[in-house]
Structure 1
Amino acid sequence: MRNREQYVPGPAAGAEVQKDGERWTLVLVRDLRHPPARVWQALTEPAHLSEWAPFDANRSLASAGPVRLSTVGTPTPQVSESTVRRAEEPKLLEYTWGGNDLRWELEPRGTGTRLTLWHNIHRGFISWGAAGWHICFDVLERFLAGESIGRIVGGEAMKSEGWQRLTAEYARQFGVESPGRPSNTPNR
C-alpha cells in the first residue's frame, strides 16, 4: 500500500505494560523484515526519523550526548532538550524525550529484526502512547520497504480512521479507561 489515505492501523498487538505507581513503562515489540543495520539508520538518522517518528532531531542519535528533539503533529512544536545516553550500533539506543526515557533494542531474527521499545509514560496516556507508537511502527515498516506514506502523528493520527478503535483496544488490554484512567478508579 503506497497511499496514506488508505492506511488503517491493524488491531492492537505486541504491547504490554510494566507498572510502577503513576509511571508505567510501555513495551512494544515488532518483528521487521529488514536487517538491524537498516532499522538502526531509521531510528537514528534525522532524514529517516522525519519519515515516521513523532519528532525531528537536530542531529543523528547514533552517538551519546545532547540532542534537541522537536515534537511534530502539534499546533506548536514542543522542543525537548534531550540526551542520547547509549548508542551501541546496531543493537541498543537509549535517550530521553520530554521527561521520559526510551530504550530501543534491535535483535537479529533471520534476515530481519525484532525491534523492542520501552517507553516510560504516565499511566494517563498509556493507551494513547501505545496507539501512537503502533501507527509509527506501521509507517516505519512501510518506509523500510520503500513505500513511504509519510509520518502520521499527533492530531493527524488522532483523527485517522482506526485511532479510537486502537486506543480502546489498548485500554482494554492494559486495564485502563481510554485515554488511560485505570478502569477500577472512579472518575474525578
Structure 2
Amino acid sequence: MKEKKQVPQESLGVYGQDRDGNPTITYTRILKHPVDKVWQAITDPRHRAAWFPELTLEPRVGAQAVVDFSHGECPPSEDNPADVAVCTVTVFDPPHRLEYSGPDEHHRFELTPAGDGCKLVFRSTLPGIDVFDDETGTIHSRYSVACGWHDKLDMMGWSLDGSPFEEEGYAGPRKRRLYMAYLKQEK
C-alpha cells in the first residue's frame, strides 16, 4: 500500500485578520536562495511564469496587477467574474516588498535576508464567504484559497531549486492533500 505524504504542519499558513477585520493567511518560508533571486522569481515575468503565470504586473506603484484564472476565456465567465482580479500595485520596494490590492483582496510578498538565503513572508486576504463554482465543481473558500497559495509558494520554491514539478489544476492529488490539511487544522 502506498504511503500518503503528510503536509508538514509548519508549512501551513497561519490564519489572522488585517486591520479592517478581513480574514488573512500568512506563510513564512525560508528559501535557500538570496533575496535578489527570490525577488526576480516574484517580479520578473520570465521567472514567475514557472510558478504563477496567472499574474501580470507592471513593476511600479499605481500600476495594474492582474490575476487571471479564466484560462483564456475572454471576457471571463459571467458566472464566475472572480476568475479575473484587477488589482493595483500599492507597494513596490525592490528587492524587499511587493503589495497589490483589488476590491476583495490584498497580497503582500516581503523578503529579508536569512543566513545564506532569505525569509519570505507572504500574506493574503481570504474570502469571507464560500462560493460554489458549478462550471469547475470547486468551492472558493478560505480553505481553497489557502491551499492554492500554499501550492503556488511550493511551486516557486521548487522552481528556484530547479526541482521538477507539474501544475495540476484545481483538484490534483497535491491540492486535495493540502485542502484536507487545512480542514484538519481547524479542529
Structure-1-length-normalised TM-score:
0.73
Offset at 1:127? 1.3
> Hey, what does 1:81 align to over in structure 2?
86
> Hey, what does 1:50 align to over in structure 2?
49
Offset at 1:136? 1.0
Secondary structure of the 1:106 match is strand
The answer for unaligned runs of 5 or more in structure 1 is 1-7, 176-188
Q: Distance in 1 between matches of 2:23 and 2:58?
A: 28
Secondary structure of the 1:157 match is coil
Distance 1:79 1:127, change over 3 A: closer
RMSD: 2.6
Q: Distance in 2 between matches of 1:103 and 1:130?
A: 14
Give CA deviations for 1:25-49 in whole Å, capped at 9, x if unaligned.
1111111110111111111112222
Q: Distance in 2 between matches of 1:159 and 1:69?
A: 23
Q: Distance in 1 between matches of 2:99 and 2:150?
A: 19
The amino acid that maps onto 1:104 is F
CA contact under 8 A between 1:49 and 1:55: conserved in structure 2? no
CA contact under 8 A between 2:65 and 2:89: conserved in structure 1? no
Number of residue equivalences: 162
**Residue 93 (str. 1) matches residue 93 (str. 2):** no
Q: Distance in 1 between matches of 2:151 and 2:7?
A: 9
Higher relative contact order (CA 8 A, sep 6+): 1
Q: Distance in 1 between matches of 2:156 and 2:41?
A: 8
How many percent identity over aligned positions?
27
Give CA deviations for 1:26-81 in whole Å, capped at 9, x if unaligned.
11111111011111111111222221116230x443x2122241423757364333
Equivalent residues in 2 for 1:33-182, closer than 5 Å = 33-53=32-52, 55-57=54-56, 59-61=57-59, 63-72=60-69, 74=71, 76=73, 78-97=83-102, 99-123=104-128, 124=130, 125-147=141-163, 149=165, 152=167, 156-175=168-187
Offset at 1:97? 4.5
The ranges of structure 1 where at least 4 consecutive aligned residues each deviate by more than 4 angstroms after the TM superposition are: none
The amino acid that maps onto 1:158 is Y
Secondary structure of the 2:50 match is helix
Structure-2-length-normalised TM-score:
0.74
